[in-house]
């Protein structure tokens, strides 16, 4: 009996020494399973608004955006394609946490300069992406001849916002964005100077390279008589290696924040929708 | 009883021998790969987080690498690699386990190996050549392997097909020191 025990124990020791799996287990430590989160958004914009994504250090983005005329116009303007509002901008990552951007849009011949700063990233230590954004926008369309009393500060608008984003699942990301918009000029009696807005935007990945996006901004400060609408945009993100191509429909024709947030003229219920796209080329 | 005891000692003797031999290990092994195609921007990444272990007695060898540790010169490429190709969140590591054929203790030389490589949740048997230099009580192991992404169910979409090589060349370097 004891002989049997000795024999079995020897065989047992023998087999455990030879097993390769044990060798792998010795180094297969769980520290490698360390959790990490992917960015919530692929492009630096959800649709019209900024996303929590930044350009990496020394990364250079060329952004070209078009917002065409209302598709309600039908064949007379070829569903708005005749009337393009174009934005061309450059974005540069000074560090992984700080981006600077310069651009110009056709709508009110607006020139923009902006800064974006990543405060923190979603990880196992902190559940949210927090990004601060500040932009200064100059309306260069107003001519001094037509408005002799206009000063340069009247041309300016400002946007300050905090992007609070989270990738909730591998497919779904959500962002809440409290915004403050300052318009230095009242274009009509219905306008005001200071707007407080809460934006919500999301992305749902349909496949590895296709995502659906949506964005809405609720304006808390808009006076009742003010005829403009809250912007609602729906889009599709297509990833093609070095590009992100964003197709979208929105009731705002303007591209840049203070304008699209406060002067959206379209109405989804009446079909006053603008088609557009953003192309981002990463260098 | 005494006879059984002697028998037991005799049976264990060859095993005891293998116990006395050391395991050699590193946690800073180097691994780099290239999937570049001429005329397109280079697709290359490297990592120095390769963990490797060698059992001198049996010639068994095993290695594991966190996929996330691969660094690309272009941040966007790294993001695509983790999110679109390797599904790193789901499959955080690649592992190898195998045996070096006719392994000789403390001998430099070129050896054949046979084993199983697991990447992206897919296991494939693999064999090839290892160059081992034994110096200063350290095994310096280097090897190169050629892998096909499709063997590991890593799908490359048509739109970038021409920019990514069909075969990926992987280079490994491990300086294995004895474990205490």
In a domain, B16, yes or no: no
- Domain encompassing residue A11: 2-282
The token duo for A14 is 């023998």
- pLDDT tens per residue across span A185-223: 988 889 999 999 999 999 999 998 899 999 999 999 999
Asked if A23 lies within 8 A of B62 by C-beta distance, the reply is: yes
Asked if B84 lies within 8 A of A209 by C-beta distance, the reply is: yes
Question: Distance between CA atoms of B157 and A240, rounded to whole angstroms?
Answer: 9
The token duo for A163 is 């992007």
- pLDDT tens per residue across span B18-45: 455 689 999 999 999 998 888 787 889 9
Structure confidence at residue A8 (pLDDT) = 61
Q: How far is CA B3 from the centre of its chain?
A: 46
In a domain, B17, yes or no: no
Question: Distance between CA atoms of B113 and B100, rounded to whole angstroms?
Answer: 4
Per the model's pLDDT, the better-predicted residue between A6 and B53 turns out to be B53
Question: Distance between CA atoms of B38 and B164, rounded to whole angstroms?
Answer: 10
Question: Distance between CA atoms of B143 and B180, rounded to whole angstroms?
Answer: 26
- pLDDT tens per residue across span A101-126: 999 999 999 999 999 999 999 988 89
**Average pLDDT score, chain A:** 89
Residue of B127, B134, B57, B136 whose CA lies nearest to B96: B127
β-pairing, B93-100 vs A172-183, is unpaired
Q: How far is CA B99 from the centre of its chain?
A: 11
* B37: exposed, middle or buried (Cβ count in 10 Å: 0-12, 13-18, 19+): middle
> How many domains is chain A built from?
1
Rg (CA), chain B: 20
SS3 A62: strand
Mutate to test the interface with B, among A241, A281, A282, A283 (most CBs of B within 10 A): A241
Residue of B52, B43, B32, B77 whose CA lies nearest to B175: B52
Asked if A241 lies within 8 A of B163 by C-beta distance, the reply is: yes
In a domain, B164, yes or no: yes
Please list the ranges in chain B whose pLDDT falls under 50.
16-18
Asked if A56 lies within 8 A of B76 by C-beta distance, the reply is: yes
Query: Which H or E run contains A240?
Result: strand A232-240
In a domain, B150, yes or no: yes
pLDDT at A182 over 50: yes
Of A2, A23, A242, the CB nearest to B55: A23
Per the model's pLDDT, the better-predicted residue between A20 and B103 turns out to be B103
Which chain A residues are within 8 Å of B22, Cβ to Cβ? none
What's the average model confidence in pLDDT over A213-237?
Answer: 95
Largest CA distance in chain B: 77
* A76: exposed, middle or buried (Cβ count in 10 Å: 0-12, 13-18, 19+): exposed
Asked if B76 lies within 8 A of A242 by C-beta distance, the reply is: yes
- Domain encompassing residue B75: 2-7+23-178
Q: How far is CA A45 from the centre of its chain?
A: 2
Which chain A residues are within 8 Å of B98, Cβ to Cβ? 20
Phi, psi of A108 (to 5 degrees): 55, 25
Asked if A36 lies within 8 A of B84 by C-beta distance, the reply is: no
Question: Distance between CA atoms of B71 and B75, rounded to whole angstroms?
Answer: 8
Structure confidence at residue A124 (pLDDT) = 83
> How many domains is chain B built from?
1
Residue of A130, A134, A101 whose CA lies nearest to A118: A130
In a domain, B89, yes or no: yes
- pLDDT tens per residue across span A21-50: 678 888 876 655 566 778 899 899 999 999
Is-contact B169 B80, C-beta < 8 A? no
In percent, the amount of chain A with pLDDT more than 90 equals 66
Alpha helices in chain A (DSSP H): 2-18, 20-27, 257-262
Asked if A24 lies within 8 A of B75 by C-beta distance, the reply is: no
Of A13, A14, A282, the CB nearest to B76: A282
Strand segments (E) across A25-109: 60-70, 85-93, 98-105
What's the average model confidence in pLDDT over A264-272?
Answer: 93
Pick the residue from chain B with its C-alpha nearest to A242. Answer: B76
Alpha helices in chain B (DSSP H): 2-20, 75-80
Q: How far is CA A248 from the centre of its chain?
A: 13
Mutate to test the interface with A, among B76, B90, B164, B176 (most CBs of A within 10 A): B76
Is-contact A42 A204, C-beta < 8 A? no
CATH number at residue A145: 2.40.160.40
């Amino acid at each position: 009996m004891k002989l049997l025990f000795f024999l079995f124990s020897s065989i047992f020791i023998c087999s455990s020494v030879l097993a390769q799996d044990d060798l792998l287990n010795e180094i297969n430590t769980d520290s490698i399973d360390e959790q990490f989160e992917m960015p919530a958004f692929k492009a630096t914009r959800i649709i019209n608004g900024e996303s929590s994504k930044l350009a990496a250090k020394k990364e250079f983005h060329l952004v070209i955006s078009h917002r065409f005329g209302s598709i309600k116009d039908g064949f007379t303007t070829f569903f708005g394609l005749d009337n393009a509002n174009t934005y061309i901008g450059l974005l540069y990552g000074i560090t992984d946490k700080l981006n600077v951007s310069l651009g110009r849009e056709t709508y009110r011949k607006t020139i923009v300069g902006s800064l974006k700063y990543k405060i923190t990233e979603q990880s196992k230590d902190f559940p949210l992406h927090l990004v601060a954004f500040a932009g200064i926008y100059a309306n260069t369309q107003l001519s001094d001849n037509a408005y002799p009393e206009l000063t340069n500060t009247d041309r300016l608008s400002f946007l300050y916002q905090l992007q609070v984003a989270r990738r909730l699942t591998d497919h779904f990301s959500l962002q809440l964005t409290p915004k403050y918009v300052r318009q230095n000029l009242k274009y009509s009696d219905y306008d005001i100077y200071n707007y407080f807005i809460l934006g919500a935007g999301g992305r749902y990945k349909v496949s590895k390279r296709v995502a659906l996006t949506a964005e809405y901004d609720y304006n808390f400060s808009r006076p009742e008589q003010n005829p403009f609408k809250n912007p609602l945009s729906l889009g599709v993100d297509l990833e093609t290696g070095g590009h992100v191509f964003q197709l979208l429909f929105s009731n705002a024709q303007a591209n840049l924040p203070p304008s699209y947030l406060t002067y959206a003229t379209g109405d989804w219920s009446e079909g006053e929708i603008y088609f557009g796209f953003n192309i981002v080329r990463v260098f | 009883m005494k006879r059984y005891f002697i028998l037991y000692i005799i049976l264990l003797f060859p095993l005891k021998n293998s116990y006395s031999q050391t395991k050699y290990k590193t946690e800073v092994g180097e691994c780099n790969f290239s999937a570049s195609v001429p005329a397109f921007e280079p697709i290359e990444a490297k990592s120095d987080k390769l963990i490797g272990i060698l059992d001198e007695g049996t010639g068994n060898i095993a290695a594991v690498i966190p996929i996330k540790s691969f660094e690309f010169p272009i941040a966007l490429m790294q993001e695509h690699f983790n999110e679109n190709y390797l599904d790193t969140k789901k499959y955080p590591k690649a592992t190898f386990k195998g045996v070096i054929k006719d392994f000789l203790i403390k001998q430099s030389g070129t050896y054949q190996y046979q084993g199983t490589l697991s990447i992206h949740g897919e296991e494939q048997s693999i064999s090839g050549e290892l160059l081992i230099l034994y110096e200063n009580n350290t095994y310096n192991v280097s090897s190169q392997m050629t892998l096909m992404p499709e063997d590991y169910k890593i799908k490359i979409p048509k739109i970038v097909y021409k920019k990514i090589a069909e075969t990926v060349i992987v280079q490994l370097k491990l300086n294995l020191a004895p474990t205490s």
